Structure 1
Amino acid sequence: MEKMWQGRFNESSSKLLEEFNASISFDKELFEYDIKGSIAHAKMLANQQILTNDEKEKIVFGLNQILGEIREDKFEFKIEDEDIHMAIEKRLSEIIGKEIGGKLHTARSRNDQVAVDFKMYVMDKNLEISNLILNLISTLNSIAKNNLDTLMPGFTHLQHAQPVSLAFHMLAYANMFKRDFYRFKDSFERNSFSPLGSAALAGTPHNIDRFFTANELNFKSPTSNALDSVSNRDFALEILFNISVLFMHTSRLCEELILWSSSEFKFIEISDKFSTGSSIMPQKKNPDVAELIRGKTGRVYGNLISLLTTMKALPLAYNKDMQEDKEGVFDSVKTAISSLIILNEMLKTTKFNKDNLLKACKMGHLSATDLADYLVKEKNIPFRQAHFITGKCVSLAESKGLDLSEISLDDLKSIDKSIDEKALDVLNLQNSKEARKSYGGTANESVRKQIVEIDEFLKNSQI
């Protein structure tokens, strides 16, 4: 079969080359963007009187027919067509004839064609993922609203540290994902420039209007330098990086959900809808969704490193290495979308065991820091000495099999006679939580402000 570029060649392509060189098996994902870009290009060519209006109408008709054929699974993808761009152009010539179909490629190259197709895909998926992040933040905020007074241990080094509310803990993740949202948003703004019309690398002698096609394709404006435009894949790297950071955050949340669902913690029960069993142990209920999301983090990291390595040290402009840019992006995008949807639904149906969360707060002497602060503020004792006295109180509580919050005033006085009844209020776990009223702290007063901030963020960030 004759290639569209075969004029300079005297021999037919090797079958090995066709199979090795082809990308149509995966870049057919871009068919809608390729057709959309081609329609915009045809309209511009007609506006600039490079095509007649009749030619433009026939091209648009043919492209829309192809769009229908692909959507209805009636389009035959052939490896000898190399890629989605050639496949569509060949089919267009079959529908409306080579004389008119062959004019569509005037003033463009596959280099700028693939760049604009791929960028449109990335921009659309950026918005889709951003919207799913907002849904997840909304769910976390809803959990927070319902758990202002649900006590749980805060951890450092995975050791019990200080009492916090479940609301406060969930809002920590809401703020992580809020940063992710802004990261995607910034990337969208930074990359909203159209490379279409850059041609192979140096622009075109045809009197084209790149501002028209940029506007038609919902970009802010055309890119400034044709050489950079066709060799740029920063937009692809950015979505891979943004997804990687997003998955770093989801993996942290999933790790905690896995731990919390274990018999050792029993903080939560994941719905049967989002759990699996064992093929041999009838009693098992496994948190496979959380484990899979945690596992897929390595997958999306790999896709980022792969493209970074591919782009490293490539000379300007387009090189065939850049055909390796799409599969990793397609994979990471699909992984992100499916993971965010199921994580959000799983969280909505997860039950929090408030009794066990409270019980865990009575292990590890969570209000010890409060006793030290009390000694500093009320008794004017230097902090290092207060720290030592509190440590002695902790040791005494442990010898009695008690949590520090349960120790008696007499026991406290046996360590330091200056301690009075106010120390018992200070050691109360709920009071300990409420004492942290500083901006961003775990006291209800502060947490309510954080919830309002997230509500306002969600209200102002709808896509």
Structure 2
Amino acid sequence: MRHDQIREGRLSGDRSTQIAHYLSSMEADHKIASADLFVDMAHLAMLSRQELIGDDHAKLLAAALLRMYTDGIPKEAFDERFEDIHAGIEGELIAEVGKEAGGRLHLARSRNDEVATCLRIRVREDILRILTSLSSLRGVLIHLAEEHSGTVMPGFTHLQHAQPTTLAHHLLAYEEAFSRDAERLSDAYRRVNRSPLGAAAFASTGFPIDRDLTKKLLGFDELSGNSMDAVSGRDFALETLSALTVMMTAVSRFCEELILWSSAFVRFVDLDDMYCSTSSIMPQKKNPDCAEIMRGHAGTVAGAFQAAVICVKGLPMSYNRDLQTLTPHLWNGISHASASIEILSGMIQTALFNRERMLEESDKGFSTATELADTLVREYGLPFRTAHNIVGRAVRSGEITLATVEEAGHEMAGISLLEKGLTEERIRRALDPSEVVAAKNVPGGPAEGVIRDAIRLRSRVLADDNEMIIMRERTIKMAEEELVSMMRRMAGE
């Protein structure tokens, strides 16, 4: 029967199953088991290079670690008799190669720096995976913007018809928001990808270890400096969850609009049946359930961030066992955010947008009135506030015609716009949604030429971001290959 080798010296007696379960982090540790294997390999390679472990012992350990790498970590390592996966893997190594060899691997390290290193390895993998999913989503939005650069639709403020815009303009707004989310995650990656290994319990070690070697073998860019901060700092987790919370806020806003747009009242979009459900009692229903669940999971991610913050805020330096309770919140937030981005990308890509319905609504609620006011300023020399008041008074009458504008001009400013040359035709053109959109020909606007420029710019930014992801993935992969190669040489393969 496996037992917890760490308790043998200082503590007596076995724990009850209840206490063992209460203290165990095994449920959350499944996500860092493979990372712990890499950390063991890198630490062994360093101990061997520094001549802190003999060749015979190193050979046995390298061969055992390679078997776990190839065949998988034995399920016994996840037994809750071990407090965590680190102790579980060490216990399996001791069981396989004996305590004389297996008991030497933990030299010059602690579970404190070990778990901190494993967490960072896993979080950086998750960040790169989410960045890849974000890139896919952004690519979908850019592609759809190309298709709909001329699709006129109403824009809204306060959920009221405001001014005409285009679907491309609307989609690119979300692409830029998700691009900033990618920036935040990419920037967080730099602080995540720092190696705490070698900090030991918190005061480093008196053995002549080589932290730079383990950093390189594990694909880290930098070392965590102060050893006390290295083992107890979890701001990398808070920063990641914070960035994901902001990202999911944008996701939730997008889902809210898709839910509204897919309603019978609006009918701007038809979501693919794959992303919808029906009612158990009302056979006619097609409910946007994926969008609704996603909107809810924005709260799940925000809750994970809040729980993690509360966990850390009262802890003194350095390591405290409370930090174990942060980890499930970290995985929960990452899991829901990652799944949401992947599903949102597919939901948008398969959606059918109703161009005719969008155009039909684009001039409702006097949404083109602002352009008429701007026309009175540009072409007839009125102060904007005067033009604003005149058009507003015409709207108040219930329709915008030459007669109502002329009457409003007399009432609000004591002027005749007829005498200034205003015609019914000019009013009609000013109120045409397509004309309104075409007039917004400044950077960031919805005019078709501006949108084409924006698409080119956003495509370049996306390409650069994708190159960064590939470069980081390649660095990690090369480090893994070098590490495994060292293990094979040490094992005599």
- Answer whether TM exceeds 0.5 for this pair: yes
The aligned residue for residue 282 of structure 1 is 283
Task: Could you tell me which runs of 5 or more consecutive residues in structure 2 were left unpaired when the two chains were aligned.
Answer: 410-415, 470-493
SS in structure 2 at match of 1:196: coil
Cα 1:2–1:125 change in 2 (3 A) is: closer
Paired with 2:438 and 2:396, the residues of 1 have a C-alpha distance of 25
Residue 424 of structure 1 is matched in structure 2 by 428
User: How far off is 1:330 after superposition?
Assistant: 1.1
In structure 2, what is the Cα distance between the partners aligned to 1:382 and 1:242?
Answer: 44
The corresponding residue for 1:53 is: 55
Question: Hey, what's the Cα distance between the residues in 1 that align with 2:57 and 2:12?
Answer: 32
**Counterpart of 1:34?**
36
Map 1:91-170; keep pairs closer than 5 Å: 91-170=92-171
Question: Could you tell me how far 1:415 is from its partner in structure 2?
Answer: 4.2
1:248 aligns with 2:252: no
Q: Is the 8 A contact 2:215 2:221 kept in 1?
A: yes
2:465 aligns with: 461
Amino acid at match of 2:349: K
Contact 1:195/1:230 (CA < 8 Å) preserved in 2? Answer: yes
Which AA in structure 2 matches 1:203? Answer: S
For the residues of structure 1 that align with 2:171 and 2:128, how far apart are their CA atoms? Answer: 24
- CA deviation digits over 1:15-54, x for unaligned, max 9? 4432211111221221100000110000000000011233
Per the alignment, residue 303 of structure 1 pairs with 304
In the TM superposition, what are the counterparts of 1:380-395 in structure 2 within 5 Å?
Answer: 380-395=381-396
Change (3 A) 1:395 1:144: same
Number of equivalent positions: 454
Q: Distance in 1 between matches of 2:64 and 2:391?
A: 81
Return the alpha-carbon distance in structure 1 between the equivalents of residues 158 and 432 of structure 2: 23
Measured in 1, the distance between the counterparts of 2:4 and 2:229 equals 32
Mapping of 1:327-366 within 5 angstroms? Answer: 327-366=328-367
Establish whether residue 291 from structure 1 lines up as the match of residue 295 from structure 2: no
State the alpha-carbon separation in 2 of the partners of residues 18 and 271 from structure 1: 47
What is residue 448 of structure 2 aligned with on the other side? 444
Q: 1:361 & 1:305 partners in 2: Cα distance?
A: 41
Give 1:341 deviation, angstroms: 1.1
Shift of 1:414: 4.8
Asked if the contact 1:197/1:208 (under 8 Å) is kept, the reply is: yes
Match of 1:374 in 2: 375
Residues 182-218 of structure 1 show CA distances to partners (whole Å, capped at 9, x for unaligned) of 0001001123210000000101000000000001111
Q: Are the counterparts in 2 of residues 66 and 92 from structure 1 also a CA contact under 8 Å?
A: no
Change over 3 Å in CA distance of 1:56–1:315 after alignment to 2: same
Letter in 2 for 1:148: S
- Please tell me the residue identity of whatever aligns with 1:66: M
Q: Which has the higher contact order (CA 8 A, sep 6+)?
A: 2
State how far apart, in whole Å, the 2-side matches of 1:169 and 1:224 are: 45
State the Cα distance separating 1:461 from its structure 2 match: 1.2
Report SS of the residue matched to 2:364: coil
Structure 2 equivalent of residue 318 of structure 1? 319
Are the aligned partners of 1:113 and 1:196 in contact in 2 as well (CA < 8 Å)?
yes
1:266–1:353 contact (8 Å) kept in structure 2? yes
**Alignment partner, residue 488 of structure 2:** none
Alpha carbons 2:4, 2:82 under 8 Å: kept: no
Tell me how far apart the structure 2 counterparts of residues 221 and 338 of structure 1 sit (CA, whole Å).
Answer: 30
For the 8 Å contact 1:310–1:321, the answer to whether it is kept is yes
Residue 313 of structure 1: how far off its partner (Å): 2.1
SS at match of 2:154: strand
CA distance in 2, matches of 1:371, 1:300: 45
**How far has the Cα of 1:368 moved from its partner?**
0.5
Q: Identify the residue that residue 219 of structure 2 maps to in structure 1.
A: 218
Indicate the residue corresponding to 2:474 in structure 1: none
What letter corresponds to residue 437 of structure 1 in structure 2? Answer: N
Q: Deviations over 1:392-413 (max 9, x none)?
A: 22233x25xxxx4xx4x45544
Q: How does 1:68-107 map to 2 (within 5 A)?
A: 68-70=70-72, 74-75=75-76, 77-107=78-108
Is the 1:66–1:91 contact (alpha carbons within 8 Å) kept by the matching residues of 2? no
Provide the rounded CA distance (Å) in 1 between the counterparts of 2:31 and 2:404. 71
> Is the Cα contact below 8 Å between 1:248 and 1:297 reproduced in 2?
yes
> Quick check: 2:155–2:164 contact (8 Å CA) kept in 1?
yes
Offset at 1:9? 2.4
Compute the TM-score of the two structures, normalised by the length of structure 1: 0.95
Q: Distance in 2 between matches of 1:200 and 1:2?
A: 19
Distance across 1 between alignment mates of 2:45 and 2:306: 39
- Equivalent residue letter for 1:240: L
Amino acid at match of 2:148: N
Give the residue type in structure 1 aligned to 2:297: K
- Retained in 1: the 8 A contact 2:151–2:166? yes
* 1:3 Cα deviation from its structure 2 partner: 3.6
**Change in 2 beyond 3 A, CA 1:39/1:424:** same
Q: 1:270·1:287 contact (CA, 8 Å) conserved in 2?
A: yes
Separation in structure 2 between the aligned mates of residue 201 and residue 381 of structure 1, nearest angstrom = 72
SS in 1 for 2:198: coil
Indicate how the Cα distance of structure 1 residues 383 and 157 shifts in structure 2: closer, same or farther if over 3 A, else same: same
Query: What CA distance in whole angstroms lies between the structure 2 residues aligned with 1:4 and 1:276?
Result: 51
CA contact (8 A) 2:304 2:329 kept: yes
Q: Could you list the runs of 4 or more consecutive aligned residues of structure 1 that deviate by over 3 angstroms after TM superposition?
A: 10-16, 67-71, 73-76, 409-417
Task: Give the percent of matched residue pairs that are identical in Structure 1 and Structure 2.
Answer: 37
Residue-by-residue CA offset, 1:121-170 (whole Å, 9 max, x unaligned): 11111111011111100001111000011011111101000000100000
SS of 2:322's partner is helix
1:84 deviates by: 0.4
Q: TM-score when scaled to structure 2?
A: 0.89
Q: Is the 8 A contact 1:25 1:79 kept in 2?
A: no
Partner of 1:262: 263
CA apart distance, 1:86: 0.5
Secondary structure in 2 matching 1:6: coil
